[in-house]
Amino acid sequence: MPERIYNFSPGPATLPYSVLQQAATDIVNFNNKGIGLIELSHRSKEFIAVADETESLIRELMGIPAHYKVLFLQGGASSQFFMVPMNLLAQGQKATYLNTGTWSKKAIKEAKLFATVDVAYSSEDINFKRVPRDDEYSVDPESQYLYFVTNNTIYGTQFQTMPAKDALLIADMSSDILSRPVDVSRFGLIFAGAQKNMGPAGVTVVIIREDLLDRVSDSVPSMLKYKTHAEKDSMFNTPPCFSIYCVGQVMHWLKTMGGIGAMEKINQDKAALLYEAIDSTDFYRGHAEKESRSLMNITFNLPTPELEARFIAEATAAGLDGLKGHRSVGGCRASIYNAFPRAGVEKLVEFMADFARKNG
Ligand SMILES: *Cc1c(COP(=O)(O)O)cnc(C)c1O
């Protein structure tokens, strides 16, 4: 393996090195067939086998019931902000949203174009440092669904358990899909942009309960209907072939790691190392409240913006890249998705102790 830096970027993010190597080989000569992976027709039996295998691995790893469709769409997770209400709500209907960060706020804005939005909870006034407990909000029985973001990538908060509400759950899992076991049967729809925890940018995975496909009105354009893509096995038009292939490779890797249950333990262990480093001194201050802490994106501040800037610059020079927090929170953020190695977290923890000693 060539020397690699530790990449704490929030997305696109670190991928398993074995996946990068396999992709590099297959791009030039796929399965020794004398044709490159990204030259294959999406209608070829070779590529259809790739897409089928990617889907069946996602189904197997997540335990997706048979009455759910798995779709490979484009337009990023952001397109789901309008596709969800456009497909699931009729005019005059209502949906409930939990406002726990930038991504939910954007989804709320789009949903308002289609229906009445009830924001049942918001942590905006405390800079999104927490997500709600079940007893902090209620869902109007008239509401068609409850929409929430399982992991708030920018603020470093995460639902530790899924809302126990008697409502159709819709979740943006872009930054924590496949990081822990989830009971898919409790959801109407789950979506995730691949570039955080599944592969490269370019494909958005949508998992939708079949009966919801028929809710869409005839006035919605074909490309924007889930039903169109479900009926054509995500081959209505040219799908993002390379991204789908890479997601499949990451799924193979996840299986070799022991699946999602094993991955959850690894993620808990990595995050605990970093949170211990933050909690062991007053020098570092975690942004998220403890009960809401994310295992994927760990956000923290230093005593001053000047120290934060120096911390990030010195970390970068030491091969710890991508630690700058999102511009809306400032500070630092370490994104440590499934493929981020424990050794990188250990190196960061050492660096943090050293930096605090010199500057504290
Ligand atoms: C990154 C992210 C998005 C936006 O993804 P795009 O693919 O860039 O549109 C949406 N939701 C969450 C939770 C994210 O982390």
State whether CATH 3.10.290.20 applies to domain 6-16+258-359.
no
Cβ contact 68:208 at 8 Å: yes
What is the distance in A from the centroid of ligand 1 to the CA of 77? 5
Residue 172 annotated to the active site: yes
Average pLDDT over every residue of 42-63: 97
- CB-neighbour burial class of residue 214 (10 A; exposed 0-12, middle 13-18, buried 19+): exposed
Indicate whether 91 pLDDT > 90: no
Check residue 166 and report its DSSP letter: S
Closest residue by Cα to atom 3, ligand 1, is 77
Percent of the chain with pLDDT over 70: 99
What is the distance in A from the centroid of ligand 1 to the CA of 288? 19
Average pLDDT over every residue of 346-353: 98
Cα 8 to Cα 330: distance, rounded to the nearest angstrom: 15
Residue 253 annotated to the active site: no
Confidence of residue 3 (pLDDT cuts 50, 70, 90): confident
Among the ranges given (237-241, 326-330, 348-352), the one the predictor scored with the smallest mean pLDDT: 326-330
pLDDT score of 360: 85
SS3 assignment, position 71: strand
The model's pTM: 0.98
Cα 20 to Cα 119: distance, rounded to the nearest angstrom: 41
Ligand 1 atom, smallest distance to 175 CA: 15
Residue 109 annotated to the active site: no
The dihedral over CA atoms of 79, 84, 87, 90, expressed in degrees to the nearest 10, equals -130
Average pLDDT over every residue of 260-281: 98
State whether CATH 3.40.640.10 applies to domain 18-256.
yes
What residues does each domain of the chain span?
6-16+258-359, 18-256
Q: What tens digit of pLDDT does each residue of 157-194 get?
A: 999 999 999 999 999 999 999 999 999 999 999 999 99
Cβ contact 196:11 at 8 Å: yes
Confidence of residue 1 (pLDDT cuts 50, 70, 90): low
The alpha-helical segments, DSSP class H, found in the chain are: 17-28, 45-62, 76-88, 102-111, 226-231, 241-256, 259-279, 305-317, 342-359
Cβ contact 87:80 at 8 Å: no
Average pLDDT over every residue of 265-269: 98
pLDDT score of 42: 97
Q: What tens digit of pLDDT does each residue of 273-324 get?
A: 999 999 999 999 999 999 999 999 999 999 999 999 999 999 999 999 999 9
Cβ contact 294:157 at 8 Å: yes
What is the distance in A from the centroid of ligand 1 to the CA of 150? 12
Six-digit token string for 317: 């020079």
Closest residue by Cα to atom 7, ligand 1, is 76
Q: What tens digit of pLDDT does each residue of 317-333 get?
A: 999 999 999 988 899 99
Average pLDDT over every residue of 60-87: 98
Cα 170 to Cα 172: distance, rounded to the nearest angstrom: 7
Integer CA distances (angstroms), 312 to 262, 303, 351, in order: 31, 14, 11
Closest residue by Cα to atom 13, ligand 1, is 174
